[in-house]
Chain A
């Protein structure tokens, strides 16, 4: 699209961008909020379901089966299911967005905690850790790199899906894409499509890099091991 923008005038309007910086900023913040709520709520639900799956092993397969079905339903259809119930609202958008994070987050959380070495768990028990203490002070921190890897995928996926919620009256940067679609024959329209897309991709990259940074800070022991 950059190639086209240069090859033919009348495809992209810098004037529009300069005149709408406030608007673009506001939609970016909205986009980030919709994403953050979805990932945080998704992580809390996933953590609870992962604890259930780790405690009662037989529940893991039905949990991943159900969240797998949610993940398979196309986003437009999932939002469409909810519209008759919750309307064209933020709630509809968030229920859909949270649904999509669950499979990835649960799989990574369970795999991360399963990956904690048996010897470490044994030592912690020997030191007198209770189940709860073991989970929060030993297993969860050691599983953090795998869990954060899941959060990265969930966050980047959610940022993309937020754009679809423009169709149900939300959308963050998807708002520009949808409005551009309605004006696609004009440079103003294509400009908005390109702006919505480019800023959304930039947001995904920025969030991904931020999460890499957070993982780096949150797991100092893996850094020390890497440099040793």
Chain B
């Protein structure tokens, strides 16, 4: 453990650099590489599962244009529940369900956080498609299913992709808190650093977590720009979700 009290900023940053330079901190079950793998795997699993749960019903409801009031309520309540509280609340719930500590309470909490923004943005994306366009498609003889898959879905794709990006970044951010309920991931360094009062560990963990979140945001933003046709890109304004 490195004692940092009384050292200057330069020495402190030097200690952080030395921590990253030590190969022992990279390998093994509690090394950076394994923690990063855990973090990325859980983020991917939670984001994909949430997308599977949220997007199909939202597409259908948006297509039928029913449940708008419900959507607004979900956005407002979702924003008001602290993600910290959700992660902690899922610990006793997970234990009662016999799923134990660690992975499951974190995973369930992340699902709970990621489903509402994906649902609401997909819904508003589809329901917000120009009614004239839908009318014209029907006039051309398209069935309801064709209107959804050939008109509404492509038109709403920028909003849906943006919602997935926002949710994924939020999931990666909140996964940090999983360290509080016995899970690994990069949050481990920060939480362990707090408990042993090791500021170097805390700071190094913060760099890793922040780096991953920013990387994910930039990467998914890039994918979005590659996938979405430029003519539709101005439509990708989503309801921003909570920071975790």
State the A residues within 8 Å of B (CB): 1, 4, 8, 11, 69, 71-78, 80-81, 83-84, 100, 104, 153, 156-157, 159-164, 166-168, 174, 177-178, 180-181, 184-185, 189-190, 193-194, 196-197, 200-201, 204-205, 208
Contacts and interface: CB of A to CB of B under 8 A. Distances in A.
B20 interface: no
A190 B84 contact: no
B92 A193 contact: yes
A205 B80 contact: yes
B91 interface: yes
Contacts of B202: 80, 83-84
Contact of B91 (A100, A159, A181): A181
Contacts of B172: 74
A223 B92 CA distance: 47
Contacts of B213: 72-74, 77
Interface of B: 4, 12, 76-77, 79-86, 88-89, 91-93, 95-96, 169, 172-174, 176-177, 180-181, 187, 190, 193-194, 199, 202-203, 205-207, 209-210, 213-214, 217, 240, 242-244
Nearest to B97: A4
B4 A100 contact: no
B214 A81 contact: no
A163 B96 contact: no
B80 A81 contact: no
A159 B80 CA distance: 8
Contacts, number: 144
Contacts of B177: 76, 164
Contacts of A178: 88
25 contacts: A72-B217, A73-B210, A74-B210, A76-B187, A77-B176, A77-B205, A78-B210, A80-B203, A153-B79, A157-B242, A159-B82, A160-B82, A164-B82, A164-B84, A168-B194, A174-B82, A181-B88, A181-B180, A181-B181, A184-B88, A185-B92, A185-B95, A193-B88, A193-B92, A201-B81
A193 B105 CA distance: 14
Contacts of B203: 80-81, 83-84
A48 B202 CA distance: 33
A200 B206 CA distance: 26
A77 B80 contact: no
Contact of A160 (B80, B173, B193): B80
B93 A77 contact: no
A184 B95 contact: yes
B131 to A, nearest CB: 24
The 7 closest A-B pairs by CB, nearest first: A74-B173, A80-B206, A160-B82, A204-B80, A197-B85, A77-B209, A77-B206
B202 to A, nearest CB: 5
Nearest to B179: A76
A174 B89 CA distance: 12
B81 A197 contact: yes
Contacts of A204: 79-80
Contacts of A74: 172-174, 176, 209-210, 213, 243-244
A111 B179 CA distance: 39
A178 B202 CA distance: 19
B16 to A, nearest CB: 9
Contacts of B12: 84
Contacts of A168: 194
A100 B241 CA distance: 12
A116 to B, nearest CB: 20
A178 B88 CA distance: 8
